[in-house]
Amino acid sequence: MDGVLQSPARDLGRAFLQSNLARLWLGDRTRERVAAAEAQGELLHQADGTAVLRHRGTLLGTPSDDLWLDRTVRESPKDSAYVVFGLGLGHTARALRALTEAPILIYEPDPGLARRALEAGPSDLGDFPIVCTSHDLSQLWPNFGGNRDNVTLISTPGYHALYGSE
């Protein structure tokens, strides 16, 4: 041992990250960037116990408004695929899955935030492709939704404020 003790929480986070990287549907470059990134954001719990991220003073990934999300799905073309802008902790993607069986892909603009989310615990997001790069998006798209004429973008709460130019 090199004389430096690792905290059990840090070791557990690293184990969660490695497990999630191995089993989730991630683009190749996304997997590399998340593994190399420094974790960003702070994991917080809202008063109701819901876990969220805070980054640069903005709460990211709070649950989406259910009525808005339901209306968006109802008003989207029937053959639409969905791109969720912002991973957060996956609340928006899970809520969207509860409303539609259409393909759903998650685009996370910050690999450091993805890393923080994947260190938080075992992820149940294995049904969703997750990408952090336009390259990975273009590589996964033909197998994901390439035969669809319509795509609906759903922004996870807080992401537009920090990543509007994305």
Q: What is the pLDDT of residue 141?
A: 84
pLDDT at 5 over 70: no
- Cα 121 from Cα 16, distance rounded (Å): 5
What pLDDT shows up at residue 1? 45
> What pLDDT score was predicted for residue 164?
85
Q: Is the pLDDT of residue 64 over 90?
A: no
pLDDT at res. 149: 82
102-108 average pLDDT score: 95
The percent of residues in the chain predicted with pLDDT above 70, rounded, is 93
Helices within 76-146 (DSSP H only)? 91-99, 111-119, 134-144
